[in-house]
Amino acid sequence: MLEIKGLKVKLEEEDKQILKGVDLKVEAGKVHAIMGPNGSGKSTLSYVLSGKDGYEITEGEATLGGEDLLELEAEERAALGLFLAFQYPVEIPGVGNMTFLRTAVNAQRKARGEEELSAADFLKEIRAKAKTLKIDADMLKRPVNVGFSGGEKKRNEILQMAMLEPKMCILDETDSGLDVDAMKLVSEGVNALRDAGRGFLVITHYQRLLDHIKPDVVHIMADGRIVKTGGPELALEVEKNGYADILAEVA
Amino acid sequence: MAAVAKNQEATAARLDRLTVPSSGQWAAETREATLSRLREMGLPERRDEYWKYTRPDTLTQADAPAAAVYETGEAPLFDRFDRIKVVFVDGVFDEDQSDDLAGEGLSIERLADAVEKDIHWAKELYGVLEAKGQVPVERPLAAFNTAYATDGVVIHVTGKVAKPVNLIYQHKAESSDAVLHHVIKLDAGAEVTVLENGPAAARFNKSMEVDVADSAAFHHVRAQGRDHERRAVTHLFGRLGTESVFKSFTLTVNGRLTRNEAVLELTGDDAVAHVAGACLGDGDFHHDDTVFVTHDAVNCESRQVFKKVLRNGATGVFQGKILVQPGAQKTDGYQISQSLLLDEDSQFLAKPELEIYADDVACSHGSTSGAIDEDALFYLRARGVPKDIATDLMVMSFVAEAVEEVESEELRDEIIGRLESWLERRRG
Ligand SMILES: Nc1ncnc2c1ncn2[C@@H]1O[C@H](COP(=O)(O)OP(=O)(O)OP(=O)(O)O)[C@@H](O)[C@H]1O
Ligand SMILES: [Mg+2]
């Protein structure tokens, strides 16, 4: 599904190399987790894959379902089935949550040559999905993320994911800021979307999210590289001992 | 001094070529008095402080610069509303296209008819708020309007009027030069909504004087555009009585030059005055909002909300003032002027001012100018919204605070629809 080879990325504005050769392959139907110290480049990787401006790709490639991602605009990557749940969802005053999501859903459908969703069908679907995530009608009407609590913003990200039904989902610290109950809700939302055709890349610092969303593969990222890959036990090891041992071992 | 004398001379030369429209006694007197005021102050010049950001020359020169007639090919704004239509073509009243000048709770008359009479109630209002509005800042083009207006409407609102009055302007002749003046008087407790739309003329000078008596409510929604080559100067004068409400919103799209002045005076306690505007400009677009709100009573509220979206070298100007007179305690004054610059060629010039002579007031003002929020844009695009549509969503989001000043939901939707279709057309 998602294939990244030797990806090296520096900032456009300054001469700072952030990703120093990332190799990663997420197969359809699998959940991969990425852990790693603060500042190791996890969010940068997710931004570069999603098409954010400000980065220069100096080497390497990234494909989704065989298509070159790096050549595409952000919206084209989304239409291709890539989704990023942001570490810091953006507030957009004046744009209603519903309007935004309907515009997004239909823009993607249009880009794929599919028929647009009618207002009534959209409403039905979003209401049902919002309900399972305990997002109330009032929140749907409010401007995108404005005045949402940290946890509400994260739930809103998952709602968007559920509505857009992407093929490849990248979740950047979706667990941060969630209380225990919200963590469960969000995980259930994610698990409901797990299927044979969909891949997940879950960025997290904590095992407790992985208790709910069981990963198939765990990667450790440090200083712009994937330095170690293993099974779920790798996350347990990080939880117990931190990164010191792993980093010493690969150094 | 020499400069003043020179300007007075130039003004005299310009005015001598004009004819004062035929008038009965009351109007003739008013016009004559106005003319001597105008000769004294002179027409605006580029070096005038109040015209620092907007060149007045095309508004004052003898001939109106030609402006291509613009046919939109779409249904005019407010078409789906049940309203009283009053149509002016190049500043000339068009009886055939207009409805009967009558309605429940109000009387409407053409200004051209009212001025012919020797005695008319409009005397107590026509040019009166304008003259008052010349202090402390002179507005010569408003005086010019009072002296030379050829037509307009004179409305007396006695009750709560359900149907809006829609002043519709049409532009048919390339070099038309129109001067219209409307007078609206609301009795105590009366309510009316006045709508204005349509391209008026190649050059348009329009005044509206509104007297809102105690507990009365005046709502005004106006759309200017899309005739791109027009030049327009408009003045909106309002006097607010106790517990009265005055709410005005203007949407402006296109226009080589537009200067909209609003001069409001809150004279009765607990009055509420809101004036707002949203404009979208592209290329050789120059839009100037000049607002002066005077608080002269206790516990009044005023809001000025102006949003400008500028691209391809368009220019936006805002000069806004809140003046709180001695004794106008518990004043709640708010003023915000913001521009969204879609490229580096566009510019926004703002002069926000507060002048306060009372100690127990809450006044705030802010002015900002900025580019589109890149993080928000990326967020929208990452969800699959193409860049141009995402930009337009951000534009709608930016102007929302101004558009929300339109109280009627139906009218607000009408304005939003117009904004969206303008943006959509630009997307091609
Ligand atoms: N626009 C930028 N300007 C300057 N430095 C940047 C920029 N973007 C990223 N960096 C730097 O690149 C490094 C990687 O940042 P990134 O946000 O990808 O880390 P992360 O692994 O997601 O960290 P965390 O776990 O704290 O979220 C950091 O040192 C960060 O300061
Ligand atoms: Mg991060």
Pocket test for ligand 1, best of A8, A19, A22, A38 (most atoms within 8 A of CB): A38
Letter for the amino acid at B34?
Answer: T
Q: Tell me whether residue B393 is in a domain.
A: no
B328 min Cα distance to partner chain A (Å): 34
Sign of CA dihedral A177, A181, A187, A188: negative
A240 domain-assigned: yes
Residues B250-283 have pLDDT tens digits of: 999 999 999 999 999 999 999 999 999 999 999 9
**Any chain A CB within 8 A of the CB of B1?**
no
Domain total in chain B: 1
- What is the rounded distance in angstroms from the CA atom of residue B98 to the CA atom of residue B383? 49
Q: Whose CA is nearest to atom 24 of ligand 1?
A: A38
pLDDT digits (tens, 9 = 90+) for B201-229: 999 999 999 999 999 999 999 999 889 99
Structure confidence at residue B1 (pLDDT): 56
Interval B122-126 mean pLDDT? 97
pLDDT at A45: 97
Provide the residue range defining the domain that includes B368: 2-373
Enumerate residues 6+ apart whose C-beta is below 8 A from B70.
B171, B199, B226, B227, B228, B229
- Do B153 and B125 touch, CB atoms closer than 8 A? no
Phi, psi of A204 (to 5 degrees): -155, 160
B360 Cβ under 8 Å from any chain A Cβ: no
Residues ≥6 apart with Cβ < 8 Å to B428: none
Contact B235, B130 (CB under 8 A): yes
> Any idea which ligand is nearest the CA of A171?
2
Does residue A133 lie within any of the structural domains?
A: no
| Torsion over CA: A77, A80, A84, A89 (sign) | positive
- Using a CB–CB cutoff of 8 Å, tell me whether B386 touches chain A: yes
CA distance A198 to B100: 67
How far is the CA of A66 from the CAs of A1, A70, A78, A83, in angstroms? 7, 12, 15, 16
List the structure tokens of B415.
Answer: 């304005």
B182-195: average pLDDT: 98
Query: Is the pLDDT at B350 greater than 60, yes or no?
Result: yes
Question: Would you place residue B155 in the very low, low, confident or very high pLDDT band (cuts 50, 70, 90)?
Answer: very high
Task: Using the mean position of ligand 1's atoms as its centre, give its distance from the Cα of residue A171 in Å.
Answer: 16
Is residue B394 in some structural domain? Answer: no
Supply the pLDDT for residue A189: 87
Q: Is the pLDDT of residue B135 over 70?
A: yes
Which residues on chain A are in Cβ contact (under 8 Å) with B380? Answer: 92, 95, 100, 104
> Is A10 within the bounds of a domain?
yes
Tell how far CA B226 is from the center of its chain: 16
Residue B33 lies in a domain: yes
Residue A118 inside a domain? The answer is no
Q: Taking all residues of chain B, what is their mean pLDDT, rounded to a whole number?
A: 96
The number of folded domains in chain A is 1
Say if B380 falls within a structural domain. Answer: no
pTM: 0.90
CA A209 – CA A204 distance, rounded (Å): 8
Complex prediction ipTM:
0.95
* Yes or no, beta carbons of B385 and A100 under 8 Å apart: yes
Q: Does the beta carbon of A43 lie under 8 angstroms from any beta carbon of chain B?
A: no
| Cis amide bond preceding B226, omega within 30 | yes
* H or E element that contains A214: none
A166 close to B (CB below 8 A):
no
- The pLDDT assigned to B68 comes to 95
Closest Cα of chain A to B376: distance in Å? 6
CB of B396 within 8 Å of a chain A CB? The answer is yes
Residue ranges of A 104-133 with Cβ closer than 8 A to chain B = 104-105, 107-108, 111
Domain range for residue A201? 2-90+165-250
Element (H, E) at B201: none
Say which CATH number the domain at A216 has. Answer: 3.40.50.300
CB contact under 8 A, B393 and A93: no
Alpha carbon distance A145, B308 (integer Å): 24
List the single residue in B with minimal CA-CA distance to A86.
B379
Residue of A nearest to B379 (CA): A90
Q: What number does the ligand 1 atom closest to the CA of A87 have? A: 27
For residue A239, the tally of other CB atoms under 10 A from its CB is: 15
Pocket test for ligand 1, best of A18, A48, A53, A87 (most atoms within 8 A of CB): A18
Q: How far is A248 from chain B (nearest CA, A)?
A: 37
B376 touching A, CB under 8 A?
yes
Q: Whose CA is nearest to atom 2 of ligand 1?
A: A11
For residues A13-51, one letter each, b for 16 or more C-beta atoms within 10 angstroms of the residue's C-beta and e for the rest, the string is eeeeebbbebebebeeebbbbbbbbeebbbbbbbbbbbb
Q: How far is Cα B320 from Cα B50, in angstroms, rounded to an integer?
A: 11
Contact assignment for A78 to B383 by CB distance below 8 Å: yes
Whether B388 maps to a domain, the answer reads no
Cis peptide before A89 (omega within 30 of 0): no
User: Tell me, what's the pLDDT at B74?
Assistant: 83
What value does the mean pLDDT take over residues B384-407? Answer: 95
Tell whether B245 is covered by a domain.
yes
Percent of chain B with pLDDT over 90: 95
Who's near A19: CB < 8 A, 6+ residues apart? A7, A8, A9, A41, A44, A45, A48, A224, A225
Q: Residue A109 Cα, ligand 1 centroid: separation in angstroms?
A: 33
Integer Cα distance of B186 and B212 in angstroms: 5
Q: What is the pLDDT of residues B57-95, one digit of tens each?
A: 999 999 999 999 998 888 899 999 999 999 999 999 999
Domain assignment present for residue A106? The answer is: no
Return the amino acid letter for B179.
V
In chain A (251 residues long), the average pLDDT of successive 10-residue segments reads 96 94 95 95 96 96 96 96 95 90 95 93 93 86 91 92 96 90 89 93 93 94 95 92 86 73
pLDDT at A167: 96
Task: Classify residue B221: in a domain, yes or no.
Answer: yes
How confident is the model over B23-42, as a mean pLDDT? 96
For A219, residues 6+ apart whose C-beta sits below 8 A from its C-beta are A24, A32, A33, A34, A35, A226, A228, A229
Q: Which amino acid is at B111?
A: L
Q: Do A74 and B375 touch (CB under 8 A)?
A: no
**Helix ranges restricted to H, B49-171:** 57-60, 111-116, 128-132, 140-148
- What would the two tokens of residue B260 be? 């909209």
> Could you tell me if B377 and B394 are in contact, meaning their C-beta atoms sit under 8 angstroms apart?
yes
- Both structure tokens of A16: 């700072």
Do strands B84-89 and B92-93 pair parallel, antiparallel, or not at all (unpaired)? Answer: antiparallel
Q: Which among A168, A145, A176, A121 has a CA at the least distance from the CA of B380?
A: A145
Residue B379 is assigned to a structural domain of this protein: no
